Amino acid sequence: MDAGLDEAAGKRARGLDRAFEILDFLRQKRQALKPNEIAAQIGAPRSSVYELVNLLLRNGILEFTGGEGRVYLGRKLYFLGAAYENHFDFTRECEAALERLADETRETAQFCMLDGNKYTVVRMREGARPFRISTDIGQSVPIPWTASGRLLVAHMTNEEILAFIPQQDFQLPSGEWLDPAAFLTEVRDTERDGHFTFNSIVDSFTHCFAVPVMGDAGHAAATLCLVAPRDDGLANRDRYLDCLKDAARRLSHAPLQSRRA
């Protein structure tokens, strides 16, 4: 009897894992897909994916969109996210910090975190400039491509970092490869300095700044960033770093419940 219950519980747990995998996959793809396309791309049995997709559709977690049976994230997820934000003060503090940074510097301000072994922008406030500098919120980006990435892994040993970051993520958008040893040196320099700045690897016209937002464990739980036109960023480097570090200190000393948000 106990063995049967354990088997049923294990099956439910595997089903939940697969459901979250489907949701996360659609989030990363950012497009509606047919269930058989999802199954093929995540390497799951089609029968299981169809069953879970139907369950998620019935509960409003997924919705049909785009025709031909394609599905995408449902509006119920928005309401769940809104309830989460309403419960925690940290999101409001974060928005206020980004607004101050954008006002003080006129540059695009971002709040960034790790999403698994990738980097993602969680919140953003665009600067007061005639041209737009921004990143898609929630898009997963290889850690070595980013200024923040060096701060977010600085608490790890070199061996842990190389095991954590997929080898292919050291290939840059240009097709060139970043030497992992050079990356590790930058991580250690960043750990010592408490910030990292560089000319963006992703484009040829911006300069990026990142400072840590410290968590309860004593290392960077997130980062605050500025993305500026390259010439302006270099000319205002010290002032921008001072603004970032002041904002990060305020967030790092937010109440414990808020930081856990």
Q: For residue 50, how far is the Cα from the chain centroid?
A: 28
What CATH number has the domain spanning 15-80?
1.10.10.10
255 has a pLDDT exceeding 70 = no
User: Which of the following CATH numbers is that of domain 88-253: 3.40.50.300, 1.10.8.80, 3.20.20.140, 3.30.450.40?
Assistant: 3.30.450.40
Residue, of 87 and 232, whose pLDDT is higher: 232
Whole-number Å distance between alpha carbons of 196 and 183 = 12
Q: Residue 88: what pLDDT?
A: 61
256 has a pLDDT exceeding 50 = no
Count the neighbouring beta carbons within 10 Å of the beta carbon of residue 88.
17
Q: What is the pLDDT of residues 152-170, one digit of tens each?
A: 999 999 999 999 999 999 9
Residue, of 113 and 216, whose pLDDT is higher: 113
At 150 the three-state DSSP class reads: helix
Residue ranges, comma separated, of all CATH 3.30.450.40 domains in the chain are: 88-253
Q: Residue 197: what pLDDT?
A: 95
Residue among 250, 249, 242 at smallest CA distance from 105: 242
User: Model confidence at 2, in pLDDT bands (50, 70, 90)?
Assistant: low
Q: Residue 139: what pLDDT?
A: 83
10 has a pLDDT exceeding 80 = no
- Determine what percent of the chain is predicted with pLDDT higher than 90: 60
Residue ranges, comma separated, of all CATH 1.10.10.10 domains in the chain are: 15-80
- Determine what percent of the chain is predicted with pLDDT higher than 70: 88
User: Model confidence at 140, in pLDDT bands (50, 70, 90)?
Assistant: confident
Q: Residue 151: what pLDDT?
A: 96
Q: What is the pLDDT of residues 210-253, one digit of tens each?
A: 999 988 778 899 999 999 999 999 999 999 999 999 999 988 76
Report the range of poorest mean pLDDT among 3-12, 93-102, 157-166, 215-224: 3-12
- Tokens describing residue 232: 């302006």
User: Model confidence at 257, in pLDDT bands (50, 70, 90)?
Assistant: very low
Residue, of 71 and 90, whose pLDDT is higher: 71
- Tokens describing residue 110: 């971002």
Whole-number Å distance between alpha carbons of 250 and 254 = 7
Q: At what angle do helices 2-29 and 35-42 cross, to 10 degrees?
A: 100
8 has a pLDDT exceeding 80 = no
Q: What is the pLDDT of residues 181-209, one digit of tens each?
A: 999 999 999 999 999 999 988 777 899 99
